[in-house]
Copies of this chain bind each other. A is one copy, B any other.
Amino acid sequence: MAQDDDLIRRVERRTADYIGCIDDDALERWPAFFTVDGLYRIISRENYARGLPASFLYCRGRGMMHDRITALRQANIYEPHVYRHLVSGTRLSREEPEGGWRLHTNFQVIRTMHTGEMVVFAVGFFDDVLVERAGTLLFQEKTVVCDSSRIDTLLVIPI
């Protein structure tokens, strides 16, 4: 019980750093939150529930994540905008048979455009598998499950 609480607390802090990294536009540091072969994907709640693999975004491994950030920095053809994450309610789902822990955390992302317009961009939960490597918690998997199956085409920045 106290052990679970320590773990949840550590994951909360790790999540705080994770959302800080994105919201501060320090995206070059984003892949380092994952294991070398870590999985990152964004999927709709509907597909998640049905076990369908179709995702809005899919990255396997830090290399693919770095490529994505590089493309984002170079292309730069999208309208400038920033994200602000709010997260809540980290809860332990289960220990993973192959090691690590699965936890869920609710999230909300507010997007602010260059014009100053603010909009609820995405809500849902993180379905995370974390492992410990050299005393640091890393995401072995991060599945961003979005409540809405209609996502804005302007999905450039990771959530």
Give A residues with C-beta under 8 Å from B.
5, 8-9, 13, 15-17, 19-20, 23, 45, 82, 84-91, 104, 106, 108, 110, 112, 115-120, 123-125, 147-150
Contacts and interface: CB of A to CB of B under 8 A. Distances in A.
A149 to B, nearest CB: 6
B23 A125 contact: yes
A147 B112 contact: yes
Given A91-B16, A123-B112, A148 B118 contact: yes
Contacts of A150: 115-117
Total identical chains: 3
Contacts of A106: 19-20, 23, 84-86
A109 to B, nearest CB: 10
30 contacts: A5-B9, A5-B13, A8-B13, A15-B89, A16-B89, A16-B91, A17-B91, A19-B88, A19-B106, A20-B91, A20-B104, A20-B106, A82-B147, A84-B108, A85-B106, A86-B88, A86-B89, A86-B106, A87-B88, A110-B123, A112-B123, A112-B147, A112-B148, A116-B148, A116-B149, A116-B150, A118-B123, A118-B147, A118-B148, A120-B120
